[in-house]
Amino acid sequence: MLRPYDDLGAFSGRVRVSAPRMGIGEAPATNLALVLHELATNSVKHGPLSAPAGLLDVACLIEGEDAIITWTERGGPTVEPPAAGKGFGSKLLARIVGSHFRGGVTYDWPPEGLIARLRIPTARLDG
């Protein structure tokens, strides 16, 4: 899902993905792709993939009945938490993860990058 962001190999070695093999239904795959696309777009525009040495780690693990996806950005411009009014992207993520997956999203904003954690019930990924 992140390959379009590396069409020239510019991010080679800077984007790392670790996830267990699991089946995902068609509709959940589309929703998950929208979530990852939004995060990746922001990373390219404002985050670590906008800087020459920035790194992006995407890891998924299964915890009980949930898939935990951790999106970790570092090495980009200094990060500040967004203002109280959330932007379109944050609202989109909250709606998809909350309504479609019945999960949740949390954000940490250390100065060195963003850490977003998505908790999605695995039963909601089957489609």
Contacting residues for 10 by C-beta, under 8 A, at least 6 apart: none
Per DSSP, the chain holds a count of helices (H) and strands (E) of 2, 5
Bridge partners (DSSP) listed for residue 56: 15, 73
Q: Which CATH number fits the domain that encloses residue 76? A: 3.30.565.10
- pLDDT, tens digit, 9 for 90 and up, residues 19-54: 999 999 999 999 999 999 999 999 999 999 999 889
Helix (H, G, I), strand (E, B) or coil at 65: coil
- pLDDT, tens digit, 9 for 90 and up, residues 62-111: 999 999 999 999 999 998 887 765 788 888 999 999 999 999 999 999 99
For residues 91 and 43, give the distance between their C-alpha atoms in angstroms, rounded to a whole number.
17
Q: Could you say which DSSP state residue 50 is in? A: G
Average pLDDT of 105-124?
A: 94
Look at residue 1 in the predicted model and tell me its pLDDT. Answer: 53
Beta strand spans in 19-109 (E): 55-63, 66-74, 104-108
Average pLDDT of 9-26?
A: 83
Number of domains in the chain: 1
Tokens found for residue 99: 């309504």
| Residue numbers of the domain that contains 7 | 3-125
Look at residue 36 in the predicted model and tell me its pLDDT. Answer: 94
Is this prediction's pTM over 0.95?
no
Q: Could you say which DSSP state residue 84 is in? A: S
For residues 82 and 60, give the distance between their C-alpha atoms in angstroms, rounded to a whole number.
25
